[in-house]
């Protein structure tokens, strides 16, 4: 079967090549990969974070169709459309027992501690699959990382109807979903982006970075935001901190522009601000998204073939990217 593979880190070392096709074990399912999202995690996997095994197949966000099931698999059959919950988890540690499979003590991220899905076929435990129907291929390929990360972040921050949510990086992978989920959860959403099309995601207001403070202040009559989501990190950290209101919640789950920040602690405690770090989400949330996402859309910037994996990763990090990068296998 065809895969994207690297032995030594670096995009230039990614090869489109053949590896031996394998069969699912008793509780596993073999899926034919239809589409795979391209995310910062994939870029970091290819560019030097420690991974195993080597040679390594990246690809953390996988949508496909069941090809073959192991002998004990009852809930899936050939032809089912599925997304892959991309965490390895044991199901028995204290974190798993409280439905925090993303924080499993003995787990990790599929595509980091296992091979990923930039591949014609992908074999995974049945407990990692969730069926989807009635959604577009682009949305399905955006649920396991982009949408799930945004949803879990908003849920962890306890976003409530009627609150004001500010989303930085609103045209980005997670940002697009944070805007839409914020609306579904009943919030007033202010999106920070230079892209005009972000308005079509349902944001109440779209503003650029230089005006965000004034816009949030005006809309909230000086109270500022209840929840702020910022997946960008270093470059926008101060902008986002200054729009968090009293008792506001600030959510970080990404560092696309770097992760070194300096903070005046008094700006946090004097306003009773809660800082939430989140990563991924749990299986239940991914399952909820399969129905919530029927109302959602995703702006795709460019679709690549598996063979064009290098270009897809370069496009992901290009400053002029205009929507998601998706690999169609």
Of the candidates 132, 124, 105, the residue with the CA atom closest to the CA atom of residue 59: 124
Nearer to Zn ion, 110 or 190 (CB): 110
The enclosing H or E element of 122 equals strand 121-125
CA 183-41-329 angle, to 5 degrees, is 90
At its nearest, how many Å lie between Zn ion and the CB of residue 103?
Answer: 8
Nearer to Zn ion, 126 or 226 (CB): 126
Between the alpha carbon of residue 99 and those of residues 48, 93, 286, the distances in Å are 30, 10, 12
Nearer to Zn ion, 107 or 254 (CB): 107
Q: 75 with 30: CB under 8 angstroms?
A: no
Report the alpha-carbon distance of residue 36 to residue 144 in Å, rounded: 10
- The total of other beta-carbon atoms located within 10 Å of residue 92's CB is 11
At its nearest, how many Å lie between Zn ion and the CB of residue 287?
Answer: 18
Nearer to Zn ion, 87 or 183 (CB): 87
Nearer to Zn ion, 106 or 133 (CB): 106
Nearer to Zn ion, 23 or 94 (CB): 94
Q: Which residues sit at the interface with Zn ion, rule CB under 5 A?
A: 89-90, 93, 96, 104
Report the alpha-carbon distance of residue 42 to residue 110 in Å, rounded: 11
Structure token digits, residue 294: 């029927």
Distant-in-sequence, close-in-space partners of 118: CB < 8 Å, separation ≥ 6: 3, 4, 33, 36, 42, 57, 58, 59, 306, 309, 327, 329
Nearer to Zn ion, 66 or 104 (CB): 104
Structure token digits, residue 272: 């009773």
Helices (H), 157-282: 173-184, 212-219, 237-241, 265-269
**Residue 257: exposure state from Cβ atoms within 10 A (0-12, 13-18, ≥19):** middle
């Amino acid at each position: 079967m065809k895969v994207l593979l690297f032995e030594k880190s670096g995009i230039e070392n990614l090869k489109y090549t053949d590896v031996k096709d394998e069969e699912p074990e008793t509780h596993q399912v073999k899926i034919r990969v239809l589409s795979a999202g391209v995310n910062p995690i994939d870029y970091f996997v290819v560019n030097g974070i420690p991974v195993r095994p080597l040679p390594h197949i990246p690809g953390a966000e996988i949508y496909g169709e069941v090809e073959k099931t192991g002998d004990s698999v009852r809930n899936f059959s050939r032809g089912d459309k599925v997304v892959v919950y991309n965490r390895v988890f044991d199901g028995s540690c204290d974190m798993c027992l409280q439905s925090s499979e993303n924080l499993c003590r003995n787990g990790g991220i599929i595509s980091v501690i296992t091979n990923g899905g930039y591949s014609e076929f992908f074999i995974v435990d049945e407990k990692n699959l969730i069926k989807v129907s009635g959604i577009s291929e682009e949305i399905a390929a955006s649920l396991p990382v982009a949408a799930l990360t945004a949803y879990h972040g908003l849920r962890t921050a306890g976003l409530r109807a009627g609150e004001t949510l500010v989303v930085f990086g609103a045209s980005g992978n997670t940002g697009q979903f944070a805007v839409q989920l914020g609306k579904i959860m009943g919030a007033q959403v202010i999106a920070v982006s230079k892209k005009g099309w972000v308005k079509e995601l349902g944001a109440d207001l779209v503003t650029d970075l230089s005006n965000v403070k004034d816009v949030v202040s005006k809309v909230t009559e000086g109270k500022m935001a209840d929840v702020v989501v910022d997946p960008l990190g270093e470059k926008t950290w101060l902008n986002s901190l200054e729009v968090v209101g009293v008792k506001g919640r600030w959510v970080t789950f990404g560092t696309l522009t770097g992760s070194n920040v300096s903070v005046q602690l008094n700006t946090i405690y004097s306003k009773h601000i809660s800082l939430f770090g989140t990563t991924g989400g749990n299986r239940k949330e991914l399952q909820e998204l399969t129905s919530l996402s029927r109302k959602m859309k995703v702006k795709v910037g460019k679709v690549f073939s598996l063979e064009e994996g290098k270009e897809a990763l370069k496009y992901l990090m290009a400053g002029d990217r205009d929507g998601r990068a998706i690999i169609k296998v």
